[in-house]
Every structure is written in C-alpha cells, then in structure tokens.
Amino acid sequence: TIGSKAGQAALSHMVVDLKSKLEKIREQVQNIE
C-alpha cells in the first residue's frame, strides 16, 4: 500500500540520517584521542 511504502521510505531515511550522525560522532571521538 502507499502508506506502508511512505513509512518504509521515512524509516530508511531516518536510518541513513542516524548512520551519518554516528560517523560524525566517531570522527569527533577520534580527534579527541
């Protein structure tokens, strides 16, 4: 259904956003050490 497709798109977008945030945090941690 259209609703589930929209939900999956939003979910995958959130996952990508989270991964990018994690990468930034990881880089900052490496800079601190």
Q: Which amino acid is at 7?
A: G
pTM (predicted TM-score): 0.64
Q: Look at residue 1 and give its three-state secondary structure.
A: coil
DSSP one-letter code for 33: -
| Alpha carbon distance 26, 19 (integer Å) | 10
| Alpha carbon distance 25, 17 (integer Å) | 13
Residue range 1-33, pLDDT digits in tens: 778 898 899 999 999 999 999 999 999 999 988
Q: Tokens 């956003």 sit at which residue?
A: 17
Distances (CA, A) of 8 to 3, 17, 24, 27: 9, 14, 24, 29
